[in-house]
Amino acid sequence: QPKKSRYTIGFSQCLMSDNWRKDMVQGMKRELSFYPDIAMEMKVANGDTKKQNQQIKEFIRQKVDLLIVSANEKEAHTSLIEEAYSSGIPVIILDRRISSTQYTAFVGAENYLVGQNAGIYANTLLKGKGTVLEISAAPTTSPSIDRHRGFIQALKTYAGIHYSGILWQTDTFDSTVTNYLKANPQIDLIYSHYDRLALRISKISADLGIRKRIKIIGVDGLPGQNEGLELVKKGLIDATILYPTGGEEAIQTAVKILHKQPFSKENALFTTVVNPDNVNIMLAQYQKMGEQQRAIERQTTKLLDLNQIYSSQRQALTIVVAL
Ligand code: FRU
């Protein structure tokens, strides 16, 4: 296909209710600002799988030039996305996987590794002996499935670590966890698939007076108030497994695909354990990035101002020449 001069990306986003998703979209917009030839339209499904499929269908009908999907559930969007892909629309799967490899590119950290890292670090924190509880959100999303699989796989190698079970986030989450911890005083560590839930667990265990005894591992590691890095720094949780949002990288990949440049199909983002030993380095890096971002924004405004001056001077010159 020949190169076009303008492109539209359709972004089907499963949720937008938390800072992790907001960070993802900010990263996308930041990256898009370098490409005036590319516009992005986002449709948010608010965690509703049917709605997300309708929105994906609308994007297909609109004939977007490229589709980015962060899928609410692993299975339920698979055939529709395969359809879009085989009809010739390039598809980037972002963060949440589907049950197929029929897509143009994947961008995201490997959740199996996230779970494995959590399992290995749980063993380290417990010095090889103890009982762990796992907490997750929805059993049908790919991060939940893979974060669980990786964790269980890692724990299998430690004879002294006992797995107590998994609790799901429900409307009665706080009381469910409270009752579980009261009934199971042998729990030594809680692995929560999300820092948001890890913070609630931290509060619950403080209320029960067992926070000092229990270890907590979260996932996401965002900077910002009440987010993972701050929780680790303040000792509200013991560690978080970094799970980058991949917004910038998704757009970088989209740009390569649209501009017909070479790209990789699988783009695994970096994940690691963040604990009190390395949290300051992480925070310092984010601060530096923020400063650089602000400098770029200042330069962009300056350039726009200069452009304005240049074009009004040109206009004045044209008038003079015409006279
Ligand atoms: C945000 C979120 C993150 C998590 C990711 C998984 O909506 O729940 O906390 O790491 O989605 O897809």
The finding on whether 218 has its CB within 6 A of some atom of ligand 1 is no
| Residue identifier of the C-alpha nearest atom 2 of ligand 1 | 20
Measured from the CB, is residue 106 less than 6 Å from ligand 1? no
Please list, in sequence order, all residues whose beta carbon lies within 8 angstroms of the beta carbon of residue 184, skipping any fewer than 6 positions away.
131, 133, 164
Whole-number Å distance, alpha carbon 3 to ligand 1 midpoint, is 35
For the chain, first and last CA: distance in Å? 48
3-state secondary structure string, 5-34? CCEEEEEEECCCCCHHHHHHHHHHHHHHCC
**pLDDT confidence of residue 301:** 86
| pLDDT band, very low/low/confident/very high, at 89 (cuts 50, 70, 90) | very high
- Section 270-299 average pLDDT: 93
Q: What is the pLDDT of residue 321?
A: 83
Considering the entire predicted model, what is its pTM? 0.92
d(CA 183, CA 28): 45
* Of 105-114, 248-257, 260-269, 311-320, the least confident: 311-320
- Of 110, 107, 204, 114, which Cα lies nearest the Cα of 152? 114
Residue located via tokens 């970094």: 242
In tens, the pLDDT along 188-204 reads: 999 999 999 999 999 99
Pocket test for ligand 1, best of 20, 97, 219 (most atoms within 8 A of CB): 20
Q: How confident is the model at residue 314 (pLDDT cuts 50, 70, 90)?
A: confident
* Cα pseudo-dihedral 310, 312, 316, 317, rounded to 10: 20
| pLDDT tens figures, 90-100 | 999 999 999 99
- From 15, 98, 220, the mutation candidate for ligand 1 (largest count of ligand atoms within 8 A of CB) is 220
Pairing of strands 130-136, 187-192: parallel
Q: How confident is the model at residue 87 (pLDDT cuts 50, 70, 90)?
A: very high
Confidence of residue 283 (pLDDT cuts 50, 70, 90): very high
User: What pLDDT, on a 0 to 100 scale, did the predictor assign at position 1?
Assistant: 58
Q: Other CB atoms closer than 10 Å to residue 195's CB: what's the count?
A: 31
**Mean pLDDT on 269-283:** 97
* Mean pLDDT, residues 263-278: 98
State the chain's mean pLDDT as an integer.
95
Residue 2 has pLDDT above 80, yes or no: no
CA 95 to ligand 1 center in whole angstroms: 8
Average of per-residue pLDDT across 270-295: 94
User: Three-state SS across 166-212?
Assistant: EEECCCCHHHHHHHHHHHCCCEEEEEECCHHHHHHHHHHHHHCCCCC
Average pLDDT score over residue span 155-178: 96
- Structure confidence at residue 318 (pLDDT): 85
How do residues 37-79 score in pLDDT, each as one tens digit?
999 999 999 999 999 999 999 999 999 999 999 999 999 999 9
pLDDT number for residue 241: 98
